[in-house]
Structure 1
Amino acid sequence: MNNELILIIEDEPEIVEIIETYLAREGFRVISAGDGPTGLSHHQRLRPDLVVLDIKLPGQDGYEVLAAIRRRGDTPVMMVTALAEDLDKLQALRIGADDYVVKPFNPLEVVARAKAILRRTTGHSPEQVLRVGPLAVDPQAYRATVDAGSGPMSLDLTPTEFRILAHVAASPGRAFQRTELVDACLREGEALDRTVDSHISNLRRKLAGAGADGMLAGVRGVGYRLDVPHGR
């Protein structure tokens, strides 16, 4: 399983569902937006590892979104679009796209290209183990353990709890807003801020039971942060 967060900016729900399903099967975390402005908002707030971007979008087209992303930084972007002309592809590559896939596409090819982009841009395979103090989160094996001195103890986590833990473990010490955790880690049917609090409460209890009490800290007025315990 992978821990990378992929943002899909696409206004056709069927296309979003196809790409999201295949990426999720590989363990990627996925968030989507149906128009350019919402996509840019998600990009700024969630800082995804990869953006899958259509060109024909309401609000702002894909070229404008790509240019805005490039002004912000170097987030890799893969264009997935029905525009097959060489001029369209050249314009996207000139603005800064990392890859260009033409619809209709093979979903497996999109996944393979996404993995290749992430390998190139991060300099490592997406499946590395995340380590924060005594905590180890293995996205590939979908396993989290705590080594409190007597050997690793596995945490019995629900899928949502694992997604939250993996998300915060990827950036230890950073404060995450509740809304960010909702968008990145919760399924649509449970997407409420207070639902995050419930999952966090369960995670804290399980971490404490494994000897990692106090790692998942609340940040007043913001949300939550994963800290390295003192002395580790």
Structure 2
Amino acid sequence: MEKQRILIVEDEKEIADLMGIYLQNDGYYVIKASTGIEGLKILEGEEIHLVILDIMMPGIDGLEVCRRIRQELNIPILMVSAKSEDIDKIMGLTTGADDYMTKPFNPLELIARVKSQLRRYIQLNPQNNSAKEADEITLNGLTINKRTHKVILFQKEVNLTPIEFDILLLLASNPGRVFTVDEIFENVWKEDYLESDNTVRVHIRKIRDKIEIDSKKPFFIKTVWGVGYKFETTEEY
């Protein structure tokens, strides 16, 4: 089986080397870039399955690199930063990152998060699922293809990250059912939910920005105040 390929974009050589050692020891093929521009060039010519991206770098920073990656690719992005404030985490997630870690971090936690993202992106990809279920969900002009991971809204493709797709698929597969924030987190991230974690709400906001005509008055993803979120199909535009 071909090794999964991970790109580390990190200007601090010691940190990049440390991450590389742990990832290689766990069986991954690692490519390293010390600047955002170098990382983007590698992505143009190499098949990469996951990107580990530092925020603070010379030249273009990690947030801008993340934006540019998202214009072309839906591969998982794990963002790392020395900053621990919630606003930095939110900025990272709203630019398209799938997960966020604060330096210094435990290398074993890094490996666990990498495995979680790759499992979702590759091993749990619906195209590898032999279950005899419909490949598509079509509701009120929105089509979600489980096999290709494509989302079409009124004949126009919507570019979602892997995490955003999984959240949308979870809700759309259970129309009318209300999911709490911790249920969404545990179903999508496959980890226990932390009460202070704002990750789910950030991703819901990003999904709404992409599929709703008016994200402040959502049609598809409704907020059930004090409970959570549900996918609504009973109203008309």
Instruction: Please give the range of the TM-score, normalised by the shorter of the 2 chains.
Output: 0.5 to 0.7
The aligned length equals 126
Please state whether the residue corresponding to 2:6 is helix, strand or coil: strand
Q: What is the Cα deviation at residue 59 of structure 1?
A: 1.6
Q: Which 4+ stretches in 1 moved above 3 angstroms?
A: none
For 1:112, the equivalent position in structure 2 comes to 112
What is the rounded CA distance, in whole Å, between the counterparts of 1:30 and 1:119 in structure 2? 17
Q: What is the Cα deviation at residue 80 of structure 1?
A: 1.3
Q: What is the Cα deviation at residue 2 of structure 1?
A: 6.8
Q: What is the Cα deviation at residue 47 of structure 1?
A: 2.6
User: Is the aligned partner of 1:85 residue 2:81?
Assistant: no
What is the rounded CA distance, in whole Å, between the counterparts of 1:50 and 1:99 in structure 2? 11
For 1:183, the equivalent position in structure 2 comes to none
* Superposed CA offset, 1:70-111 (max 9, x none): 001201100111011111100111111110000000001101
For 1:95, the equivalent position in structure 2 comes to 95
Q: TM-score, normalized by length of structure 2?
A: 0.51
User: Is the aligned partner of 1:28 residue 2:44?
Assistant: no
What is the rounded CA distance, in whole Å, between the counterparts of 1:119 and 1:34 in structure 2? 26
For 1:16, the equivalent position in structure 2 comes to 16
* Superposed CA offset, 1:107-132 (max 9, x none): 0110110000001112349xx9xxxx
* Superposed CA offset, 1:148-184 (max 9, x none): xxxxxxxxxxxxxxxxxxxxxxxxxxxxxxxxxxxxx
What is the rounded CA distance, in whole Å, between the counterparts of 2:47 and 2:63 in structure 1? 19
Asked whether the equivalents of residues 2 and 26 of structure 1 are also in contact (C-alpha less than 8 Å), the reply is: no
Please state whether the residue corresponding to 2:11 is helix, strand or coil: coil
For 2:58, the equivalent position in structure 1 comes to 58
For 1:166, the equivalent position in structure 2 comes to none
CA RMSD of superposed structures (Å): 1.7
Q: What is the one-letter code of the residue matched to 2:97? A: A
Q: TM-score, normalized by length of structure 1?
A: 0.52
1:1-232 to structure 2, matched below 5 A, reads 3-124=3-124
What is the rounded CA distance, in whole Å, between the counterparts of 1:123 and 1:26 in structure 2? 17
Please state whether the residue corresponding to 2:59 is helix, strand or coil: coil
Q: Percent of counterpart pairs with the same letter?
A: 46
What is the rounded CA distance, in whole Å, between the counterparts of 1:16 and 1:2 in structure 2? 23
